[in-house]
């Protein structure tokens, strides 16, 4: 300090009293800050260490007032980094305020009235320096945490896209704050050209609807994992607007993030096949692309068509598969189909209704007819017995 600053003898008295002052500061925090009382014991002990280190740093600053307080080394260095994560900036400001108030109130008892006023001015100046330094600490932490979270998020999304079932996945997602169990689904599409912060744009869109989200970019593909809501349909519609030109494909919902790799694999297969359906809605579900995926060589799509379409039609009997075939061959003309089958048109209608109930597809709808035709053709190639007999 200058000649008017606290004497060395005064600073030694303050230094010796730092432990007692820190204890009194923590006691006042306990009385005046309800959130502090609910903190775990280990975090409360860290605050005590930080308060004591802060008072010691005050003494050192009084000896060398031209040097800003080094909070990371001298003050926050007394506690683990977890304290910065556990205590928000606003609460840290409250802790500093209480500590400064206790020091100011006890100065007369510690150093006597003669030196108290001089030291009180030093405390005021020091608290201003601490405020700036604290803001810097939290800003640096936020920047570093943001960069770390971005790398961790990229690793998680990459693992899901590659279909990895790593034992580290739950821990990584927990570190990102992901707590959702079900449902979870994956959207894939193209990135938006010349957008620097696409991750943040997509994240804001999802979180504006209170959904949990992970975002990854692979080459020119944008991969988005969504969860946190029982009905993710509206979120899918909103987030799809943030993708680049071209199709946006939605994978099936799964029960947990650990299974999101399955949704991602199906969605990516749908994205590869979507070029065969230029008029596809946006977004489009991977299940709506079953026929295109099967033609593209996706074994999961081929198996799904057999299980959901070909096998139920075959098991229905009573002319249902023959009727579907006839309607497909006639281009959806029910009267022509009835003549070919030697039945009444109402019989054709009844059988088509039964086929729709079994498969969810209508032979008179262009899209449904296409999917039925592909399913039946693949079934015949796979050795189906009665469908084409």
Q: What is the pLDDT of residues 286-297, one digit of tens each?
A: 999 999 999 999
Q: What is the pTM of this model?
A: 0.61
CA atoms within 13 Å, Cβ hemisphere of 27: 8
| Block residue for tokens 């209608």 | 349
Are 50 and 83 within 8 A, CB to CB? yes
Residue 146 has pLDDT above 90, yes or no: no
155-214 pLDDT tens trace: 777 777 776 665 556 666 665 667 766 799 999 999 987 766 788 888 889 989 989 888
Across 96-107, average pLDDT: 83
| pLDDT, tens digit, 9 for 90 and up, residues 114-144 | 778 778 887 877 777 777 667 666 666 555 5
Q: Which H or E run contains 215?
A: strand 212-218
What integer pLDDT is reported at residue 128 of this predicted model? 73
Instruction: Write out pLDDT tens, residues 162-179.
Output: 766 655 566 666 656 677
Q: How far is CA 339 from CA 347, 362, 387, in A?
A: 11, 20, 19
Domain 179-295 fold is Alpha-Beta Plaits (3.30.70)
Question: In angstroms, rounded to a whole number, what is the distance separating the alpha carbons of residues 306 and 255?
Answer: 24
Give residue 93's pLDDT. Answer: 75
| Of 265 and 89, the one with more pLDDT | 265
Write out pLDDT tens, residues 354-372.
999 999 999 999 999 999 9
List of residues 6+ apart from 260 with CB closer than 8 A: 160, 184, 185, 186, 225, 254
pLDDT of residue 76: 54
Q: How confident is the model over 2-52, as pLDDT tens digits?
A: 445 677 888 888 888 888 888 888 888 888 888 888 888 877 887 777 777
What percent of the chain is modeled with pLDDT above 90?
38
pLDDT of residue 86: 65
List of residues 6+ apart from 186 with CB closer than 8 A: 160, 223, 224, 225, 226, 250, 251, 260, 263, 264, 267
According to the model, what pLDDT value does residue 92 have?
76
- Half-sphere exposure (CA, 13 Å, Cβ side) for 58? 36
Q: What is the average pLDDT score of the chain?
A: 81
Closest listed residue to residue 79, CA positions, set 41, 26, 43, 28:
43
Contacts of 98 (CB under 8 A, 6+ apart): 25, 28, 29, 32, 33
Residue 282: pLDDT band with limits 50, 70, 90: very high
341 or 96: whose pLDDT is higher? Answer: 341
pLDDT at 147 over 80: no
- The span from the CA of 325 to the CA of 271, in Å, is 29
Q: In the chain, what percentage of residues exceed pLDDT 70?
A: 80
Q: What pLDDT is recorded for position 141?
A: 58
For residue 54, count CB atoms less than 10 angstroms from its CB and return exposed for 0-12, middle for 13-18, buried for 19 or more.
buried
**What torsion do the CA atoms of 152, 156, 162, 165 make, to the nearest 10 degrees?**
120
Instruction: Classify domain 299-387 by CATH architecture.
Output: Orthogonal Bundle (1.10)
Instruction: Please tell me the least confidently modeled range out of 83-97, 109-123, 236-250, 343-357.
Output: 83-97
């Amino acid at each position: 300090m200058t000649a008017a600053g606290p004497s060395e003898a005064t600073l030694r008295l303050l230094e010796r009293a730092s432990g007692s002052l820190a204890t009194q500061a923590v006691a006042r925090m306990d009385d005046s800050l309800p959130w502090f009382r609910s903190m775990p014991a280990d975090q409360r002990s860290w605050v005590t260490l930080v308060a004591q280190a802060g008072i010691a740093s005050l003494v050192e600053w009084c000896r060398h007032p031209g040097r800003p307080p080094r909070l990371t080394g001298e003050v926050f260095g007394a506690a683990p980094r977890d304290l910065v994560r556990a205590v928000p900036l606003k609460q840290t400001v409250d802790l500093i305020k209480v500590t400064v108030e206790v020091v100011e109130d006890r100065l007369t008892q510690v150093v006597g009235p003669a030196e108290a006023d001089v030291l009180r001015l030093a405390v005021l100046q020091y608290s201003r320096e601490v405020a700036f330094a604290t803001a810097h600490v939290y800003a640096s932490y936020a920047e570093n945490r943001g960069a770390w979270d971005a790398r961790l998020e990229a690793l998680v999304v990459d693992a899901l896209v590659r279909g990895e079932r790593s034992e580290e996945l739950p821990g990584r997602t927990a570190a990102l704050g992901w707590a959702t169990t079900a449902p979870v689904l994956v959207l894939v599409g193209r990135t938006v050209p010349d957008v620097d912060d696409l991750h943040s744009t997509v994240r804001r869109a999802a979180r504006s609807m209170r959904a949990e989200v992970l975002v990854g970019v692979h080459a020119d593909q944008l991969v988005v994992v969504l969860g946190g809501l029982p009905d993710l349909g509206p979120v899918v519609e909103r987030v799809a607007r943030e993708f680049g030109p071209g199709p946006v494909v939605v994978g099936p919902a799964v029960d947990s993030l650990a299974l999101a790799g399955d949704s991602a694999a199906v969605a990516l297969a749908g994205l590869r096949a979507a070029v065969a359906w230029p008029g596809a809605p946006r977004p489009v579900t991977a299940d709506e692309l079953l026929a295109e995926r099967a033609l593209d060589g996706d074994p999961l799509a081929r198996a799904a068509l057999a299980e959901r379409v070909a096998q139920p039609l075959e098991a229905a009997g009573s002319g249902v598969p023959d009727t579907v075939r006839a309607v497909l061959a006639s281009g959806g003309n029910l009267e022509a189909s009835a003549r070919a089958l030697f039945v009444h048109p109402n019989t054709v209608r009844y059988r088509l209704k039964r086929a729709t109930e079994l498969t969810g597809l209508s032979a008179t709808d262009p899209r449904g007819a296409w999917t039925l035709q592909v399913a039946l053709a693949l079934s015949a190639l796979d050795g189906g017995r009665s469908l084409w007999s």
